[in-house]
Amino acid sequence: MYDFKIQAADNAAMYRDLKSALQGLVADESDAIANMANAAALIWETLPDLNWAGFYRNVGGELVLGPFQGRPACIRIPFGQGVCGAAAATLEVQRVDDVHAFPGHIACDAASASEIVVPIVRDGELIAVLDIDSPKTARFTADDEAGCRKLAEILAEIL
């Protein structure tokens, strides 16, 4: 059994612990689905105030639902559509304080209020996006973005 319950004193310590836990979980495994599944579970268990955490994979230039935690979600998202599609099309992190104000936002769960989507890129190619949603407006800060970018870097090496 893995016991990765992280109880950190502050946000920086939490992301540091999250990063080492993720490195530990993926270190000896090469299967991308297994690694995405454990990464989604680890993020879901660790970050407060989430209603969805998971992955959309780049399958032939379209985003296809990957391992996640939360409610069942839309399965295919074209590049350029919604928050995930914007991250895929631009390869830029999308940190959205109010998803209802984001043009073309795809509401998989009406409870979602804010969202961060981090592209996972290796050698200039999009592998997947990490998508994290919250029922709280402006849940994700610049510190969260920095922490999530680090997680995406770890995943870029092994997915």
**Which residues of the shown chain bind ligand SME in the complex (CB under 6 A)?**
52, 73-74, 77, 82-85, 105-106, 108, 112, 115, 131, 133
Residues 6+ apart with CB under 8 A from 89: 79, 80
Q: Which is nearer to ligand SME, 52 or 140 (CB)?
A: 52
Cβ neighbours around 144 below 10 Å, total:
18
* Residue 120 C-beta: closest distance to ligand SME, Å: 15
Q: Which is nearer to ligand SME, 46 or 112 (CB)?
A: 112
* Residue pair 85/79 in contact by the 8 Å Cβ criterion: yes
* Residue 15 C-beta: closest distance to ligand SME, Å: 22
* Residue pair 126/119 in contact by the 8 Å Cβ criterion: yes
* Residue 13 C-beta: closest distance to ligand SME, Å: 28
**140, 133, 129: which is closest to 81 by C-alpha?**
129
Position with the least CB separation from ligand SME: 82
Identity of the residue numbered 126? L
* Residue 80 C-beta: closest distance to ligand SME, Å: 11
